[in-house]
Structure 1
Amino acid sequence: MQIVFYLLLTLIVFVAMEGVTWFTHKYIMHGFGWYFHEDHHQPGYPHVFEKNDFFFVVFAIPSILLFYFGTWNGINFLFFIGLGILFYGIAYFLVHDVLIHRRFKWFDKTNNYYLKGLRKAHKIHHKHLGKEEGECFGMLFVPLKYFRM
């Protein structure tokens, strides 16, 4: 029964991370953290790494700490919170960096309805080159209108 709780906790944290991502993207990345996020909104940024990659490190730190404290005296619930954050980070990397921005050419051609909707929503987000007037700050859950376009 405990494993069901831990799996459910991991799933809840994974889903909750979409809200954390939306909030962070809208109010931090497009706010006082714009210095790190700005290059991500510049078309044709030629480097393998962006200053925006700093946020991957920021999100990895809590996950690493939760893994550490979640295995201190055997595995406890903190480990599974860290696991939910890690799984979201992997999904974010695969969807945002691989599928949408094609920083790696792994999934170059997809006809998947859901993935095409995510890509459309993110293109709308990037049509704004400045930090103001942004829209579509989420990553995995975007408004339904982008699936109808």
Structure 2
Amino acid sequence: MSWPIGALIFTLTVIGMEAFAYAAHRWIMHGPGWFLHESHHRPRTGHWELNDLYAAIFAVPSFLLIFGALQLGWWPGFAWIGAGIAAYGAIYFGFHDIIVHQRIPTRYLPRSRYMKRIVQAHRLHHVVETKDGNVSFGFLVAPRPESLKAELKRRSRAGVRAPAAERRAEQTTGR
């Protein structure tokens, strides 16, 4: 396979992974996979959470496609698809775990309108701590924060986490 065709397959895979990630986040992680993902909507204690298992789960197809194409004689395009899945995973890790959740300390501050928008959209996703009633399931494409806030308000803020001061007061009074 020529490298320009491979590069095109790779690029289309990275783009397509955003649609896959949206669907997996909305209908699997906030559906039957909530038992793992719920840990991500709660304060983390330590370095790991059950939700981190999704990284390993989603790495399996990438590994199999690359291995099959390079070692088992499968169609060469599968290596490019597997690499595209892996690249999306790396982009996701950088955006989600480093920039938004700061699991690795950095001095990065979003300055562009695009970065501010996706960071704010993801943070609005996390104000809801329940399985249902959430907004903004994408990672690299996000609705305008104003639209997300309006949608949360329309839903009567169901499942929205109480402000930090209110949570601390509840913890000290035992209510």
TM-score past 0.5 threshold = yes
The answer (yes or no) to whether the contact 2:68–2:74 under 8 Å persists in 1 is no
TM-score (norm 1): 0.91
Q: Which runs of 5+ in 2 are unaligned?
A: 150-175
Match of 2:113 in 1: 113
After the TM superposition, which segments of 4 or more aligned residues of structure 1 sit over 4 Å from their partners?
none
* Alignment coverage as a number of residue pairs: 147
Q: How far did 1:66 drift?
A: 0.5
The code of the aligned residue for 1:95 comes to: F
TM-score (norm 2): 0.78
Match of 1:86 in 2: 86
Cα deviation digits, residues 7-64 of structure 1 (max 9, x gap): 000000000000110000001100011010001001x312201100010011100000
Bigger radius of gyration among the two? 2
Distance of aligned partners of 1:147 and 1:18 in 2 relative to their CA distance in 1, 3 Å threshold: farther
**Percent identical:** 32
Match of 2:76 in 1: 76
Distance of aligned partners of 1:51 and 1:74 in 2 relative to their CA distance in 1, 3 Å threshold: closer
Aligned-residue CA RMSD (Å): 2.0
* Residue pairs, 1:8-87, within 5 angstroms: 8-42=8-42, 44-72=43-71, 73=73, 76-87=76-87
The answer (yes or no) to whether the contact 1:97–1:104 under 8 Å persists in 2 is yes
Q: Which runs of 5+ in 1 are unaligned?
A: none
